[in-house]
């Protein structure tokens, strides 16, 4: 197997491998499977790894806009520190004081979803039964408690698991609310991290800055603020199936600086384009594979390569359009795909337009960057601001994915034409003056202070006998691969091997990338992140702390096929 040395993700490439007869057979088999919710299988595969889907007319429906989910006035039974009698057997909330500021109830259930008017509706499994699930908007220092109610039939037929574990990626969060892979639950069964099954499970999201427990004011470091988060399933062995089937949602955090009000009188406020659902838009990107009959398919036997879809959906729809006013908008991209990488360009005819890149993995950079592309690995987020006032009424701009990917191994390189996934129609002048700004300074970053480092750890990501492993070990749900004293600062070296890309994700805290193959990371990766895409054979060093909470957490590859089989480690903070 040829391994090309990759200087960094921008120039990453890998040697192509020929398709053996076995591969073709496997793919033929792959395309012949209809998932439990589909009808009869389709015809044999062609030469591509992903057979083309059925034709769907572009630009036939508007973008589904994510609006803030409404909290509820009360929950019945009321939330308690210890798990309630009908609640799944979680550990008590390690912090429990005043009642949370906002209560939410999310029912995890099957629902009927239309990806496109040309396709039959599909049975998805999602939060509130929708694809994607709801968008929760929170503020720092205002705790949110979300009660997840599991209404999936324990004997449900088809891919996906009736037991779930919800992870809010990547809130600085107590372990018992972090959705540990072994903390899965349903009405009948439960995982080894819990003591019993239950109808519901409460997740408490304190919405505190990291460092709050050692801050005399109890506030923590505002430089550690998070922004664009997403929640998704994390049930060990079935994460890929559950996420693919629809268990995704979004979560936005505001604070005094990124305040969510573009008319904010507070001089500290950035006044970025605001209004979740108006000028502040979440764009969840998931690719789905459809067979010739238009049914969503998942072949559980092709987990080797990871699953690529043949249609890219934005907020659950194929090629929607979005009418915009001639003013600035903030877009929060979430790569919610189980394996696909993207590189998006904003095309105006043949021109690739510039925009302001402001946040990576939800974390505001020190200063905005003028860029013309958004590159995402599974799990990553990017916030950008597009100023549509530059364009005359009637202009149509296209969000185009130009990153080719043959199979789940990783991106190949750019293609000149790409796939159009979303169309922006510059349709109206602003209804009110655009007072939003993109200031020259966004958020101050915490200093990189290596003198605090107490330990270095080395993690190798590899494949042995068809099993994904970290340091040659398979994920052990019962045994931590690292035990870390609370409050530590460590340097972790992540080493990739073979011909695969691995987007590595660490729970609990954001990290800083110190180096990629010995060199500084590109400018848009110099802030705080929680997913780092390892190219084949790449070596990345990250600086990370483990503050405020104790308990079980995980690090894993966010190609969910790898995660499930079993490229994940448990680490315990004590």
> How many angstroms separate the CA atoms of 126 and 112, rounded?
10
Judged by DSSP in three states, 82 sits in coil
Residue 292 touches another protein, criterion: CB under 8 A: no
Q: Which residue has the tokens 């979440």?
A: 282
How would you classify the pairing of strands 482-484 and 531-534? Answer: unpaired
Smallest gap from residue 354 Cβ to another protein (A): 39
Measuring CA to CA, which residue among 16, 125, 7 is closest to residue 538?
Answer: 7
Stretch of 68-76, 160-168, 444-452, 532-540 contacting another protein, by CB under 8 A: 160-168
Smallest distance from another protein to CB 302, Å: 6
Q: Are 323 and 428 in contact (CB under 8 A)?
A: yes
Nearer to another protein, 245 or 547 (CB): 245
Contact 319, 423 (CB under 8 A): yes
Whether residue 336 contacts residue 286, with contact meaning beta carbons closer than 8 Å, is answered with yes
Does 164 participate in binding another protein (rule CB under 8 A)?
no
Q: How many residues does the chain have?
A: 574
Among 10, 82, 444, 476, binds another protein (CB under 8 A): 476
What is the smallest separation between the CB atom of 3 and another protein, expressed in angstroms?
Answer: 12
Please tell me the distance from the alpha carbon of residue 368 to that of residue 505, in angstroms, as a whole number. 24
The secondary element (H helix, E strand) that includes residue 29 is helix 21-32
Q: Mark the segment that binds another protein (CB under 8 A) among 30-38, 244-252, 392-400, 484-492.
A: 30-38
When asked if residue 54 is in the footprint of another protein (CB under 8 A), the reply is: no
Q: Does 466 bind another protein (CB under 8 A)?
A: yes
Quick check: 307 binds another protein (CB under 8 A)? no
Count of positions on this chain that bind another protein (CB under 8 A): 53
Quick check: 86 binds another protein (CB under 8 A)?
A: no
Closest CA to 15 of 517, 401, 500, 504: 500
Strand partners, 513: 542
- Site for another protein contains 123 (CB under 8 A): no
Residue appearing with tokens 């993690």? 459
DSSP state at residue 481:
S
Q: How far apart are CA 434 and CA 389, in angstroms?
A: 10
DSSP string covering 251-275: EEEE-SSS-S-TT---TT----S-T
Stretch that binds another protein, among 153-161, 343-351, 363-371, 414-422 (CB under 8 A): 153-161
Query: Is 183 near another protein (CB under 8 A)?
Result: no
Nearest distance, CB of residue 297 and another protein, angstroms:
9
Q: Is 330 helix (H, G, I), strand (E, B) or coil?
A: strand
Q: Does 380 bind another protein (CB under 8 A)?
A: no
354 φ, ψ (degrees, to nearest 5) = -85, 155
564 binds another protein (CB under 8 A): yes
The yes or no reply on residue 340 touching another protein (CB under 8 A) is no
Instruction: Please select the residue that binds another protein; options are 20, 76, 370, 451, rule is CB under 8 A.
Output: 20
The answer to whether residue 159 forms part of the interface with another protein (CB under 8 A) is: yes
Write out the DSSP string of 528-572. Answer: EESEEEEPTT-EEEEEEEE-S--EEEEEEESSHHHHHTT-EEEEE
From first CA to last CA, the distance across the chain in angstroms is 42
Q: Which residue, 160 or 227, is less far from another protein as judged by CB?
A: 160
Q: Is 471 in the site for another protein (CB under 8 A)?
A: no
Binding test (CB under 8 A) with another protein, winner from 431, 478, 518, 519: 478
List binders of another protein among 246-285 (CB under 8 A): none
434 scored as a contact of another protein (CB under 8 A): no
Residue 477 as a binder of another protein (CB under 8 A): the answer is yes
- In the list 34, 91, 136, 152, the residue contacting another protein (rule: CB under 8 A) is 34
Nearest Cα neighbor of 90 from 195, 167, 235, 205 is 195
Tokens coding 209: 């800055």
**109 touching another protein, by CB under 8 A:** no
Q: CB-wise, 279 or 468, nearer to another protein?
A: 468
For another protein, which is the closer residue by CB, 375 or 562?
A: 562
Which 398-427 residues touch another protein, going by CB under 8 A? Answer: 409
List 210, 248, 566, 567, residue binding another protein (CB under 8 A): 566
Q: Which of 300, 285, 342, 287 is nearest to 501 (CA)?
A: 342
Q: Identify the residue among 474, 522, 539, 572 touching another protein (CB under 8 A).
A: 474
- Among 131, 148, 231, 238, contact with another protein (rule: CB under 8 A): 238
Annotate 217-247 with b (16+ C-beta within 10 A) or e (fewer). eeebebbbbbbbbbbbbbbbbbbbbbbbbbb
Residue selected from 35, 168, 197, 334 as contacting another protein according to rule CB under 8 A: 35
Residue 193 binds another protein, judged by CB under 8 A: no
Distance CA 323, CA 512 (A): 37
* Position 43 contacts another protein (CB under 8 A): no
The separation between CA 431 and the C-alpha centre of its own chain, rounded to angstroms, equals 33
Binding site for another protein (CB under 8 A): 1, 17-18, 20, 22-23, 25-26, 29, 32-36, 38, 40-41, 153-161, 163, 189, 191-192, 237-238, 241, 300-305, 409, 463-467, 474, 476-478, 499, 564-566
């Amino acid at each position: 197997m040829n391994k090309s040395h990759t200087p960094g993700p921008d120039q990453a490439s890998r040697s192509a491998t020929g398709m053996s007869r076995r591969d073709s057979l496997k793919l033929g088999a792959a395309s012949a499977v209809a998932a439990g919710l589909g009808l009869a299988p389709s015809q044999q595969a062609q030469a591509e790894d992903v057979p083309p889907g059925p034709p769907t007319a572009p630009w036939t429906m508007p973008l589904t806009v994510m609006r803030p989910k409404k909290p509820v006035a009360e929950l019945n039974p009321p939330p308690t520190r210890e798990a309630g009698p009908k609640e799944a057997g979680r550990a008590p909330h390690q912090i429990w004081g005043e009642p949370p500021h906002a209560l939410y109830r999310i029912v995890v259930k099957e629902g009927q979803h239309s990806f496109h008017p040309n396709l039959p509706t599909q049975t998805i499994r999602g939060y509130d039964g929708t694809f994607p699930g709801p968008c929760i908007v929170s503020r720092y220092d205002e705790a949110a408690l979300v009660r997840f109610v599991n209404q999936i039939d324990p004997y449900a037929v088809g891919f996906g698991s009736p037991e779930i574990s919800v992870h809010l990626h990547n809130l600085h969060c107590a372990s018992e609310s972090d959705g540990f892979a072994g903390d899965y639950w349903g009405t009948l069964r439960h995982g080894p991290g819990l003591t019993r099954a239950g109808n519901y499970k409460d997740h408490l999201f304190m919405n505190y800055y990291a460092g709050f427990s050692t801050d005399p004011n109890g506030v923590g470091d505002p430089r550690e603020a998070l922004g664009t988060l997403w929640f998704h399933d994390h049930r060990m062995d079935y994460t890929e199936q559950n996420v693919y089937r629809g268990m995704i949602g979004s979560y936005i955090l505001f604070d005094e600086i990124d305040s969510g009000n573009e008319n904010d009188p507070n001089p500290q406020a950035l006044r970025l384009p605001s209004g979740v659902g108006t000028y502040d838009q979440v764009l969840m990107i998931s690719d789905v594979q459809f067979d010739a009959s238009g049914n969503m398919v998942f072949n559980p036997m092709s987990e080797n390569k990871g699953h690529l879809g043949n249609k890219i959906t934005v907020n659950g729809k194929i090629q929607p359009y979005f009418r915009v006013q001639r003013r600035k908008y903030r877009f929060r991209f979430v790569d919610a795909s189980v394996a696909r990488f993207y590189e998006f360009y904003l095309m105006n005819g043949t021109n690739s337009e510039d925009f302001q890149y402001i946040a990576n993995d939800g974390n505001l950079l020190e200063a905005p960057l003028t860029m013309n592309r958004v590159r995402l690995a599974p799990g990553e987020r990017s916030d950008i601001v597009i100023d549509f006032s530059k364009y005359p009424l009637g202009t149509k701009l296209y969000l185009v994915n130009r990153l080719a990917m043959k199979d789940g191994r990783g991106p190949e390189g750019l293609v000149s034409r790409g796939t159009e996934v979303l169309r922006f129609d510059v349709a109206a002048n602003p209804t009110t003056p655009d007072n939003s700004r993109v200031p020259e300074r966004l958020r101050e970053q915490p200093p990189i202070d290596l003198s605090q480092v107490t330990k270095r750890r080395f993690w190798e990501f590899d494949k042995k006998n068809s099993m994904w492993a970290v340091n040659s070990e398979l994920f052990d749900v019962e045994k931590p691969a690292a035990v870390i004293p609370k409050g530590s600062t460590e340097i972790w070296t992540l080493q990739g091997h073979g011909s695969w890309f691995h987007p590595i994700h660490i729970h609990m805290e954001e990290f800083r990338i110190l180096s990629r193959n010995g060199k500084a990371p590109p400018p848009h990766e110099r802030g705080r992140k929680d997913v780092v895409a390892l190219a084949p054979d790449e070596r990345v060093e990250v600086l990370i702390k483990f503050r405020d909470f104790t308990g079980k957490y995980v690090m894993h590859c966010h190609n969910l096929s790898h995660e499930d089989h079993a490229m994940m480690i448990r680490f315990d903070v004590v």
